[in-house]
A and B are shown apart, each in its own frame.
Chain A
Amino acid sequence: MDSSKSSGETTINITESRSTKGKAAAATAPPTIVATTKAIEPQKGGWKKGVAIFDFILRLCAITAALAAAATMGTTDQTLPFFTQFFQFQASYDDLPAFSFFLIAMAIASGYLVLSLPFSIVCIVRPHAAGPRLLLLIFDTVMVALTIAAASAAAAIVYLAHNGNSNTNWNAICQQFTDFCQRVSGAVVASFVAAVIFMFLIVLSGFALRKH
């Protein structure tokens, strides 16, 4: 029995030995069965495991960014210290429907990220399983679209609040509500950070899906 290793292949020669007591003139060589197998090398899963661990850490960072964005937007409430007989000068996130959509979308994204942590752990434990990774990639793609939609809709309104628009006669409300504007701008920045992390996660999952 001899075995030769070349690129993970093992050749096992099984020589059948027949009792040649009675047949002396059988000059034919005994039949040899050659079985070739490809050995499974466990150390090739090393880089996939590293990618999965990095994916898990990135998910944790994305959770903090998305939660920070949602919390910052949800706790905006500024009341100006003066008021007239008819109006009270108060600004809250639900005055603008784009900000309400932002809050809902970031809450959905944070909830999805928390729920995807077990799948990420499964990918760490079993680096060669393609099913959880593909599932994570699909949902990450949908979530990055939702996050970017919320972030840029809110960014458009924030830009309008900062600069106004002379052509449409829309005034820049940031000049009055400065604290409200700062909080909302910070929330938008945090959500863009979460979206960039989502992009990294997608490319990472795609990279780790390769089969050798």
Chain B
Amino acid sequence: MKASGALELGEAPKGSTPKSVANRGISILDFILRLIAIIGTLGSAIAMGTTDETLPFVTQFNRFRAKYDDLPMFTFFVVANSIVSAYLVLSLALSIFHILRSGAKGSRIILIFFDTAMLVLLTAGASAAAAIVYLAHKGNAKANWFAICQQFNSFCERISGALIGSFGGILVFVLLILLSAVALSRR
């Protein structure tokens, strides 16, 4: 039985508390980071995919031409970066949804799951290509593998530069997973 002079303690109404403002800031930062990652991974895919160098001399037996699909690791790199940038474009919608409605928990867990899977794919592609780029620069005396960079200079510069955007994307993905986890734990 409550009288007119009842004193009731309850929770503050949701809407504009500092916590929800911080959550909204986290969601906006998440969106911006996704945009940066799209630029990085798409740039890497394009830079690697448009490699094509033909040396000006030719002998009867060898062809002096280097393309990205001469090495299956570079093909995997291009495919992985393309998949990751397509996923990032699709996840922008979910990111905008999180900005508008900061309280969604289930969708953040789905986002963490897919972000982790894409981080793994991107890192696999980037480091396989990095191993081959290192081999192309240095060669290996013990395995008798010749350093092809000594002949194909422009091709080598292109493939080395394409790695940068991909590794930047990896860093951004780690930050994205961290942000999603912080947003989950703050609710």
Contacts and interface: CB of A to CB of B under 8 A. Distances in A.
Interface stretch (A58-66, A73-81, A89-97): A89-97
Interface stretch (B26-34, B83-91, B170-178): B170-178
Contacts of A178: none
B41 interface: no
Interface stretch (A19-27, A28-36, A46-54, A111-119): A28-36
B39 interface: no
B140 to A, nearest CB: 6
Given A32-B2, A142-B174, A167-B70, A199 B117 contact: yes
Contacts of B20: none
A211 interface: yes
Q: Is the interface of B mostly helix, strand, loop or mixed?
A: helix
A203 B105 CA distance: 13
A108 interface: no
Contacts, number: 146
Nearest to A96: B140
Given A95-B142, A168-B146, A202-B177, A195 B120 contact: yes
B101 to A, nearest CB: 16
Interface residues of B, number: 55
A133 B181 CA distance: 10
A148 B128 CA distance: 10
A7 B104 CA distance: 22
B177 to A, nearest CB: 5
B143 A31 contact: no
Q: Is the interface of A mostly helix, strand, loop or mixed?
A: helix
A33 B4 CA distance: 10
A186 interface: no
A174 to B, nearest CB: 10
Contact of A157 (B2, B131, B182): B131
Interface in A163-212: 165, 167-171, 173, 195, 199, 202-203, 205-207, 209-211
Interface of B: 1-3, 5-10, 66, 70-73, 105, 108-109, 112-113, 116-117, 119-120, 123-132, 134-136, 138, 140, 142-146, 148, 170, 174, 177-178, 180-182, 184-187
Given A32-B3, A141-B116, A199-B117, 19 more contacts: A31-B3, A34-B2, A34-B6, A36-B10, A95-B142, A96-B140, A145-B174, A148-B127, A149-B123, A153-B130, A156-B128, A165-B71, A168-B145, A168-B148, A170-B145, A202-B112, A206-B113, A209-B181, A211-B185
